[in-house]
């Protein structure tokens, strides 16, 4: 892991996970970064500035009113390659989402605007589950913040089954490294290095009225795993995702869409200069011909809704000739024949076949069992594996065509 010549601000807000921030500051410094630590007043109650000064070898800032540092909040917003907020308590997320600037850390986050920020939330599980925190994270994500964690595990108040625990310093470091676009670990000669890759994930949603939708149970996990795997091989990945429960992977550009038509527009705009498109999304194939602008009242008796086909993204796409295109085929029987005909009809280089009826495969599970079919007649049958491993194996096969 190398952060040589990187300038990182580590913003520490006041939660018990502060003790792990000391290790994070140390690891960043050891990896070559120049680390400026900014503590909130609450953080300084948990860990004294002196500790961070000793770990980073640099002065630690705790106040907007430091003599001689009148513009510290602007300099520290502008200059660094990355600002990491760890721990990011519920309070700091709320203040940042509101755009408050009532101490040094929030002032520098406000001045940071569209530059890289990575936050590692840490708080009691109920505080994390509170819709206020969810909304704040959503707001900050929409403004371009990246998040790592929180994870499920022991909290200061005891064991918990729900997320709240801050990610370990090594995990935060890995996310930071990915964000800074360092070459992939382990395989500097990766064929994916520098390639522009568009990955779609999740379902799409078609509204019947403002409160009812047609959709499917795709979790998005397969697509997110592919996007992360391609990114860690050094590809320049854009993830286009329908609505899912998953947190956007740190370090990736993520475009959120809702309907199939929105996904089509986003993909069309992105593929113009892409080297590969991996269509793992499950776009809704139909939408109501008429969208009611008010909630349809429940009627006695059956309801008939007329549906029309949504655009088929793969077949409607204008795409560069040399772009490698990977599609998915989720079938419920006679899969090989159907997948082959999809490869033909949708002009795919590869099709990834999985069976929705097979236990452990398809939607809503963390594993998958797929068969990879190539235009050149290649067929690779993979065993049941976690989706991230499936993603790696798919990329191993697809990279032959890059
Ligand atoms: N796909 C697409 N546009 C759609 C629907 C699907 O581009 N409107 C893509 C999927 O992302 C996948 C591939 O086409 O990569 C096959 O999707 P699948 O749902 O298996 O096939 P469909 O074309 O929808 O055909 P059918 O539902 O009849 O099996």
Quick: pLDDT tens for 217-239: 999 999 999 999 998 887 888 89
What is the pLDDT at residue 188?
Answer: 52
Based on the domain organization, do 153 and 74 belong to the same domain?
Answer: yes
pLDDT over threshold 90, residue 250 = no
Q: Please, which pLDDT band fits residue 52 given cuts at 50, 70 and 90? A: very high
Can you tell me whether residue 326 is helix, strand or coil? Answer: strand
Nearest ligand 1 atom, CA 329: 20
Cα 324 to averaged position of ligand 1 atoms, centre (Å): 17
Going by pLDDT thresholds of 50, 70 and 90, the confidence category of residue 189 is: low
Ligand 1 pocket, mutate which of 324, 327, 337 (most atoms under 8 A from CB): 327
Residue 4: name the closest of 36, 34, 37 by CA. 34
Residue 298 lies in a domain: no
pLDDT in tens, 340-374: 999 999 999 999 999 988 888 878 788 999 999 99
Give the number of other CB atoms < 10 A from CB of residue 21: 31
Is 294 within the bounds of a domain? Answer: no
Same domain as 352, residue 250: yes
Where do we find the tokens 């994500």?
Answer: 141
CATH of the domain at 80: 3.40.50.1950
Is residue 170 located within the same domain as residue 203? no
**Whether pLDDT at 214 is above 80:** yes
244: domain CATH number is 3.40.50.10300
Boundary of a domain, candidates 130, 156, 181: 181
Between the CA of 359 and the centroid of ligand 1 the distance, in Å, is: 21
- Probe ligand 1: pick from 346, 350, 351, 352, max atoms within 8 Å of CB? 346
Does residue 127 lie within any of the structural domains? yes
Mean model confidence pLDDT for the chain: 91
Cβ atoms < 10 Å from Cβ of 46: 19
Is the domain of 167 the same as that of 270?
no
Look at strands 286-288 and 307-309 and give their pairing.
Answer: antiparallel
pLDDT band at 186 (very low <50, low <70, confident <90, very high): very low
Active site residues: 216
Does 156 share its domain with 244?
Answer: no
Last residue of a domain, one of 147, 181, 215: 181
176-191 average pLDDT score: 66
Query: Considering the domain boundaries, does residue 296 fall inside one?
Result: no
Residues 221 and 108 in one domain: no
Pocket of ligand 1 from Cβ distances under 6 Å: 260, 279, 281, 283, 285, 310, 312-314, 327-330, 342, 346
pLDDT at 251: 63
Residue 365 is encoded by which pair of tokens? 């599970």
Residues facing residue 355 across a β-bridge? 331
Residue of higher predicted confidence among 190 and 45? 45
pLDDT at 104 exceeding the cut of 60: yes
Distance CA 16, CA 329 (A): 47
Radius of gyration of the chain (CA): 23
Quote the number of domains for the chain.
2
Range of the domain at 254: 196-289+304-401
Region 199-206: mean pLDDT is: 98
- pLDDT over 70 at 292, yes or no: yes
Span 312-318, mean pLDDT? 97
pLDDT of residue 363: 81
Residues 73 and 169 in one domain: yes
**Residue 114, pLDDT above cutoff 90:** no
The rounded Å distance from CA 369 to ligand 1 centre is 18
Mean pLDDT of 256-265: 96
Using the atom order of ligand 1, give the atom closest to the CA of residue 314: 7
Is residue 188 domain-resident? no
Residue 163 lies in a domain: yes
Atom of ligand 1 nearest to the CA of 285: 8
149 and 201 belong to one structural domain: no
Torsion of CA 94, 100, 105, 109, to 10 degrees: 90
Q: Give the pLDDT confidence score for residue 138 in this predicted structure.
A: 86
Which among 265, 218, 271 is positioned nearest to 243, based on CA atoms? 218
- Domain membership of residue 16 (yes or no) is yes
Same domain, 238 and 342: yes
How far apart (Å, rounded) are the C-alpha atoms in residues 339 and 354? 9
pLDDT number for residue 289: 96
Provide the whole-model pTM.
0.63
Same structural domain for residues 228 and 366?
yes
Which residues contact residue 362 at a Cβ distance below 8 angstroms, ignoring those fewer than 6 apart? 330, 354, 355, 356, 368
CA distance 349 to 354: 17
Q: Which residue has the tokens 């997948």?
A: 339
């Amino acid at each position: 892991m190398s952060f040589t010549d990187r300038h990182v601000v580590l913003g520490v807000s006041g939660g018990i996970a502060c003790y792990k921030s000391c290790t994070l500051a140390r690891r960043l410094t050891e990896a070559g970064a120049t680390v400026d630590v900014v503590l909130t007043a609450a953080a300084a109650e948990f860990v004294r500035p002196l500790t961070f000064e000793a770990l980073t070898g640099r002065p630690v800032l705790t106040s907007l009113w430091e003599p001689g540092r009148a513009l510290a909040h602007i300099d520290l917003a502008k200059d660094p390659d990355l600002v990491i907020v760890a721990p990011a308590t519920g309070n700091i997320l709320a203040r940042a989402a509101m755009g408050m600037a009532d101490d040094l850390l929030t002032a520098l986050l406000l001045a940071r605007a569209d530059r890289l920020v990575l936050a590692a939330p840490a708080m009691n599980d109920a505080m994390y589950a509170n819709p206020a925190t969810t909304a704040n994270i959503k707001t900050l994500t929409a403004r371009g913040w990246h998040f790592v964690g929180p994870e499920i595990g022991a909290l200061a108040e005891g064991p918990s089954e729900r997320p709240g625990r801050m990610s370990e310093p090594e995990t935060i470091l890995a996310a930071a490294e990915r964000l800074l676009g360092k070459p992939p670990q382990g395989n500097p000669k990766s064929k994916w290095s520098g390639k522009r890759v568009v990955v779609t994930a999740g379902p799409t949603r078609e509204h019947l009225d403002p409160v009812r939708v047609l959709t499917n149970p795709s979790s998005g996990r397969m697509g997110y795993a592919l996007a992360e795997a391609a990114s860690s091989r050094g590809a320049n990945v854009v993830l286009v995702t329908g609505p899912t429960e998953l947190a956007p992977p740190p370090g990736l550009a993520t475009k959120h869409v809702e309907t199939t038509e929105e996904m089509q527009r986003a993909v069309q705009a992105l593929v113009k200069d892409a080297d590969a498109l991996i269509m793992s999304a499950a776009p809704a194939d139909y939408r109501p011909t008429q969208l009611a602008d008010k909630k349809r009242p429940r009627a006695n008796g059956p309801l008939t809704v007329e549906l029309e086909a949504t655009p088929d993204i793969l077949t409607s796409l204008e795409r560069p000739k040399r772009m490698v295109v990977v599609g998915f085929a989720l079938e419920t029987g006679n899969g090989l024949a159907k997948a082959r005909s999809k490869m033909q009809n949708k002009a795919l280089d590869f099709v990834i076949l999985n069976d929705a009826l097979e236990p452990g495969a398809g939607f809503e599970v963390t594993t998958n069992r797929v068969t990879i079919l190539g235009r050149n007649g290649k067929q690779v049958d993979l065993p049941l594996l976690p989706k991230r491993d499936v993603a790696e194996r798919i990329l191993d096969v697809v990279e032959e065509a890059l």
